[in-house]
Structure 1
Amino acid sequence: MVQKILMICLGNICRSPIAEVVMVDTLAKAKIEGVVVDSAALGSWHVGNRADPRALSTLKKHGLDSKHIVRQIKKQDFTDFDYIFGMDEDNMSQLRSLAPKGSKAELLMLGDFGLNAKDRIIEDPYYQSGAEGFETAYQQCVVACEAFVKQRLQK
């Protein structure tokens, strides 16, 4: 059975596309097949665009690439996906309010896997001037994705 994972952040140009690529890489390294990973935005501002150049640069620095085109989350995602991850408490609150009754997706905060309580929020690096925030988000995603895969997907 194919499992489906959806990464969510506010605009789908920083954190969630990084998390999507990191999760795909983590699954490949763990030799886990049959998992589909995608990402989407809560808001519609960037629909049709690529990820922020700083996010793409951070991924490239780590030998990874993203071809993702921004899309907004839709009601059907709550039925189609097994896991929907938010990056912070605001994301989680919005996801809970958008989830239709009886949706199958388990709503989780990515940082609840492998990160300590003080580092569990994956902060939005969009408004920071440099690449440091993107690198921090990338590193948090690596730890959280590895922990999630070990806890939930490895037999």
Structure 2
Amino acid sequence: MRIAVVCLGNICRSPMAEVVLRERLDEAGLTDVELVSAGTGDWHIGERMDRRAAATLRGAGYDPDRHRAKQWPVGDLASYDLVLAMDQQNLADLLRLAGDDEVDAARVRLFRDFDPDGAGLDVPDPYYGGNDGFTKVLEIVERTSDALVGRLVRDRAEVAER
């Protein structure tokens, strides 16, 4: 399975989601899931994660140090089983970048569509705010990652039962 998490610059929300989701996938034994994050913009290519995002992750026991910002397309939408946009604008940008390619709507979704407390909502962009915004994003990302991984585990179990 291939999953991509996408935001605007790939230095705050999507890399935070990538780090947390990777840990949750590994803990659940889903080590065969390929996970990437990317940004729709090109401003930060090759840069480390925003220092506030990294500090928030580090403070919660995660390792943010391997991340380097990448720009979408990491590959085309069709090569991913699930592409998760951090907000409505990122979702629209992804679909625009897909152009004339046929895109399965179920494959391209909002990250928070898996959030038990916020389906259909945006992950707020903390970039222009204070540290509390990064803490809020981490709370959303952890809760949503738990729900998403739980769903993947259940889906695999159902397939195995057939």
Letter in structure 2 aligned against 1:144 = T
* Residue of structure 1 in register with 2:22 after alignment: 24
Rg larger for: 2
Q: Shift of the alpha carbon at 1:118?
A: 8.0
CA RMSD across the alignment: 2.0
Q: Shift of the alpha carbon at 1:119?
A: 8.4
Cα deviations by residue, 1:54-90 (Å, 9 ceiling, x for unpaired):
0110110111112111110017231332111111111
In the alignment, structure 1 residue 87 sits paired with structure 2 residue 105: no
Of residues 92-101 and 65-74 in structure 1, the stretch that sits farther from structure 2 once superposed is 92-101
TM-score by length of 1: 0.89
Contact 1:115 1:140 in 2 (8 A): no
The 3-state SS of whatever aligns with 1:65 is: coil
Distance 1:48 1:79, change over 3 A: same
Separation (CA, whole Å) in 2 of partners of 1:103 and 1:124: 26
* Residue of structure 2 in register with 1:127 after alignment: 128
Separation (CA, whole Å) in 2 of partners of 1:83 and 1:141: 16
Separation (CA, whole Å) in 1 of partners of 2:73 and 2:128: 26
In the alignment, structure 1 residue 97 sits paired with structure 2 residue 105: no
Distance 1:119 1:73, change over 3 A: closer
Unaligned runs of 5+ in 2: 158-162
Distance 1:65 1:112, change over 3 A: same
The 3-state SS of whatever aligns with 2:84 is: strand
Q: 1:32-47 counterparts in 2 under 5 A?
A: 32-47=30-45
Contact 2:3 2:34 in 1 (8 A): yes
Separation (CA, whole Å) in 1 of partners of 2:33 and 2:112: 20
Paired positions, count: 152
The 3-state SS of whatever aligns with 2:3 is: strand
Q: Shift of the alpha carbon at 1:146?
A: 1.2
TM-score by length of 2: 0.85
Unaligned runs of 5+ in 1: none
Separation (CA, whole Å) in 2 of partners of 1:122 and 1:77: 23
Separation (CA, whole Å) in 2 of partners of 1:91 and 1:115: 21
Contact 1:75 1:98 in 2 (8 A): no
